[in-house]
Amino acid sequence: MPSNENLIIERFEQECFIVREYEKWAITNLGALLFAKDIKNFAHLANKTARVITYDGDDKLSTVIKDLEGRRGYASGFEDLINWIDSQIPEPQKITKIFREQGKFYPDRAIRELVANALIHQDFVESGMRP
């Protein structure tokens, strides 16, 4: 992390997260997608947030139990999104004679990779389609 605000702004400009316009800074679409506190402030990007739907059964015709729509940028909200998804996946229990052990259906690394790929490899030209 750079030590002062000017170095942070300089680095954000180098990475094309912000651009200088008329002696002020403007955030780019990339900067908004990654770091927005509330993506709804960028109307043209509002349908690019992640949405996680938990169903009661195995298909989309089942009852929707929970529906979470992301509000933060991909980088700033990624960890919360992963934690939410992880909390929605049932955990099998292995019961031995002495202990009860919680297991996982999917490794954490696989979930992180799946979500990251869904966010990054979406078609940004298509409107109304969200990961």
* Residues 67, 84: Cα–Cα separation, whole Å: 11
Give the tens place of pLDDT for each residue, 90-130.
887 777 777 777 778 888 899 999 999 999 888 877 777 77
Q: What is the pLDDT of residue 43?
A: 86
Q: Which residues make Cβ contacts (< 8 Å) with residue 126, sequence separation at least 6?
A: none
DSSP 26: E
Q: pTM for the whole thing?
A: 0.74
Place of tokens 């402030």: 41
> Residue 78: pLDDT above 90?
yes
DSSP 46: G
Give the tens place of pLDDT for each residue, 10-63.
899 999 899 999 889 999 999 999 999 998 898 888 888 888 888 887 777 777
Q: What is the pLDDT of residue 79?
A: 93
- Residue 77: closest CA among 50, 54, 40, 52: 50
Q: What is the pLDDT of residue 32?
A: 92
Q: Which residues make Cβ contacts (< 8 Å) with residue 13, sequence separation at least 6?
A: 19, 20
Structure-token pair, residue 23 = 């002696």
Q: What is the pLDDT of residue 103?
A: 77
